[in-house]
Amino acid sequence: MTSIHILCDKETNIVKGFEIFDHADYADKGYDIVCAAISAISITIQNAIEKQCDDAFCQEADPKKTSMKFLIKETPSHDAAVLLQAAVEGFRGIAEEYKENVRILIQEV
């Protein structure tokens, strides 16, 4: 099961990023549409924030652990916040459709 941690500021509750762990196990690796959908959302949002916003961020990925993390270092700009909220909505839609494969947790940072 894939776990998606939505990283929220502990004081303001503003979404600052996300961390994704493990394989969804919907299908074999390389053929898993659930993992592909999650990856597409996360990569698109990261690329959009990098190219369209001035926000400083940290980005980590560990293919061996099947994990990745994306976090805005300070309070997100308006545009970055909108993009992050779009990611959250996308992740929630996948989690609702594939309850056995994806769970979402809120984590304070």
Could you tell me the pTM of the whole model? 0.94
Cα dihedral sign, 91-109-66-25: negative
**Res 22: pLDDT:** 94
Q: Please list the pLDDT of the chain residue by residue as tens digits (109 residues).
A: 999 999 999 999 999 999 999 999 999 988 999 999 999 999 999 999 999 999 999 999 998 888 999 999 999 999 999 999 999 999 999 999 999 999 999 999 9
- The two tokens of residue 58 are 């940290």
- The domains of the chain are located at 2-108
CA distance 97 to 79: 28
**Res 65: pLDDT:** 82
**2-108 maps to which CATH number?**
3.30.70.1490
**Res 24: pLDDT:** 95
What is the tens place of the pLDDT at every residue in 35-48? 999 999 999 999 99
